[in-house]
Amino acid sequence: MIKHLKIIDYALASLLRRKYKSLAIITAFTVVVTALASILLFTGALKQEAELILAGAPDLIVQRTAGGRHDLVPVAYADRIRDIPGIGLVVPRYWGYYYDPLTEANYTILGTDGKAERLELLEGRLPEKDGECAVGAGIAEMQRTVSGGELILVDSSNTGVLYEVVGVFRAASSLLTNDLIVLTDNEVIRFFGLPSGKATDISVQVYNREELQTAAAKVKRMLPDTRPITRTELVRTYEMVFNWRSGMLLTVFSAAVIAFCILAWDKATGISADEKREIGILKAVGWDTSDVLALKFWEGLIIALTAFLLGTIAGFVHIFFFKAFLLAPVIKGWSIVFPDFHLAPHLDPYLVFTLGFLTVAPYVASTVIPAWKTAVTDPETIMRG
Amino acid sequence: MVKSKIFIGITLGEILLLSLFFLLSHAARLPGREGELQARRELVQRLGLTDFAIWTEARYTRHPSQTDFFSPFQDFPSSLEHFPAGSIIAPVLPSGSDRR
């Protein structure tokens, strides 16, 4: 134990002798780990959020497709779906997209049943009458409106319509509601000029969760031009969007892996003449090969462990305390209305161990292996170069 | 052995901080946070929401779960997908497919 403490002491002194080089490696290594940890923590937290929150989403959404495109669904389909055993509430949904030329942003307009309900995450209430609306925090900010204020939109007949804002969704819900304008169902039909008897899609309640797939298959068999989407598929979509195969992860991973490969290749292809001479001298003054290897092991571990711990901490702080401000512009794309990420902290030990293993182990190995090759050589040969 | 003790102290401090973060993420599941989660779930249930409002640039990025495999390319025959979010979102395969 004491021997290893002394070797650590020597390793630290040796690293401090080359302090600029050591600092540069630790900094570059920390940045790579921070980038990786940020992405993994961010996608992990979003996946968890999707799993927990979308548990309240409709059991089944039935869309109609025509020519491979999503088409309006006849409301009469709802009555036919209602006849399937095990099916509960069947509600036609009215929603669509709206492009606002003034702000050059896209909004989502959603219809509700016109019950003036109050929700915990809504400051105010849901619209009750046709001239009322509830808006997301992003829209309220962009249109400079508040609860009790006004909102002007241009409907499908190119007429400006004035709405009274009766509710604004709180920022804590902006991941779900940021670009949302909630109107009554009738107003959405009028606003978009939807043909009578047609809805955007149909939401279906299935009593037994185990029967979700069966119910979807029955709907598909009964109405062949429809596409049923189960809640399991909603959650799986987000797992898919944020899993390691997604573009975002792949891009950052590849950059990090390339950077790391260059670092490891540089290390593994040989150690510097100075380092070789140092090993030669150590061996000449009586150090065993095992002592030299222990020294190089500790040197590698000090750098890799410090960078790994600092990088993981920085990643966590970046995502959960600073709302992923560095990552947000990457994810944002062309979105004009972009939500603040209020994500619940989520640190998976599995993620930490994987990250640790993938960063610390290869670096330590690439430090020890070339040192071992040098250490087994005769000290005189090493010192002569 | 002062240097080694300082290093071990700093490393232990970092491990302690990481453990605190771990505890914090578990505390996120405590009743107070559970209430916040419940409020969001209530919102999803009441409005029948299906997707996160992250990418508002196109239909298939605003509602990835409601879109189909080829919607990024269906604006006209042989059209190319051109929204930046398309490089971030993995393709969503049609319902019932086991290739997800």
pLDDT, one tens digit per residue, over A123-171 is 999 999 889 999 999 999 988 888 889 999 999 999 999 999 999 999 8
Mean pLDDT on A60-79: 90
Supply the pLDDT for residue B64.
85
* Residue of chain B nearest A350, judged by CA positions: B22
Question: Of A179, A212, A231, which residue constitutes the final position of a domain?
Answer: A231
Supply the pLDDT for residue A198.
94
Residue count of chain A, please give it: 385
Q: Do B62 and A236 touch (CB under 8 A)?
A: no
Give A260→chain B minimum CA distance, Å: 23
Task: Tell me if A205 sits within 8 A of A87, measured CB to CB.
Answer: yes
The residue among A111 and A332 whose pLDDT is bigger is A111
Q: Do B65 and A234 touch (CB under 8 A)?
A: yes
CA dihedral A87, A88, A91, A92 (to 10 degrees): 10
Give B80→chain A minimum CA distance, Å: 16
Strands A201-206 and A60-66: antiparallel
- In whole angstroms, give the CA distance from residue A12 to residue A31: 22
Give B75→chain A minimum CA distance, Å: 10
Number of domains in chain A: 2
Whether A56 has a pLDDT exceeding 60, the answer reads: yes
Interface test with B, best of A2, A185, A331, A335 (most B CBs within 10 A): A335
Q: Which residue from B25, B53, B61 is facing A178, i.e. has the nearest CB? A: B53
Q: Do A335 and B100 touch (CB under 8 A)?
A: no
Query: What interface predicted TM-score (ipTM) does this complex get?
Result: 0.80
Supply the pLDDT for residue B70.
67
A65 shares a domain with A195: yes
Structural domain boundaries enclosing A359: 2-53+242-384
- Please choose, from the candidates B85, B76, B14, B96, the residue with its C-alpha nearest in 3D space to the C-alpha of residue A248: B85
Give B99→chain A minimum CA distance, Å: 11
Whether A87 has a pLDDT exceeding 80, the answer reads: yes
Give B97→chain A minimum CA distance, Å: 10
A264 shares a domain with A330: yes
- In whole angstroms, give the CA distance from residue B61 to residue B50: 12
Give tens-digit pLDDT for A257-285.
777 777 767 766 667 777 778 888 888 88
Domain edges within chain B: 1-48, 50-100
A264 shares a domain with A223: no
Supply the pLDDT for residue A254.
75
Whether A109 has a pLDDT exceeding 90, the answer reads: yes
Chain A residues within 8 A of B54 when measuring between CB atoms: 175, 331, 335, 338-339
Task: Give bridge partners of residue A122 from the DSSP assignment.
Answer: A169
A217 shares a domain with A90: yes
Burial A112-125 (b: 16+ CB within 10 A, else e): bebebeebebbbbb
Residues sharing a CB contact under 8 Å with residue A340, sequence separation 6 or more, in sequence order: A171, A174, A323
Q: Which residue from B3, B67, B89 is facing A246, i.e. has the nearest CB? A: B89
A102 shares a domain with A176: yes
Supply the pLDDT for residue A312.
95
Mean pLDDT on A162-190: 93
Give tens-digit pLDDT for A212-224.
999 999 999 999 9
Whether residue A25 lies inside any domain: the answer is yes
Mean pLDDT (chain B) is 78
* CA angle (A59 as vertex; A53, A64 as ends), nearest 5: 120
A284 shares a domain with A380: yes
Mean pLDDT (chain A) is 87
Whether residue A237 lies inside any domain: the answer is no
Whether residue A208 lies inside any domain: the answer is yes
Q: Which residue from A9, A179, A246 is facing B88, i.e. has the nearest CB? A: A246
Question: Of A212, A231, A250, which residue constitutes the final position of a domain?
Answer: A231
A252 shares a domain with A226: no
A337 shares a domain with A286: yes
Supply the pLDDT for residue B73.
66
Supply the pLDDT for residue B97.
47
Task: Tell me if A58 sits within 8 A of A204, measured CB to CB.
Answer: yes
Give tens-digit pLDDT for A7-51.
888 889 888 888 888 898 899 889 888 988 988 888 888 888 888
Tell me the CB-side half-sphere exposure of residue A66, using CA atoms within 13 A. 5
Whether A1 has a pLDDT exceeding 80, the answer reads: no
* Residue of chain A nearest B84, judged by CA positions: A333
Query: In chain B, which residues have pLDDT < 50?
Result: 94-100
A187 shares a domain with A226: yes
A212 shares a domain with A314: no
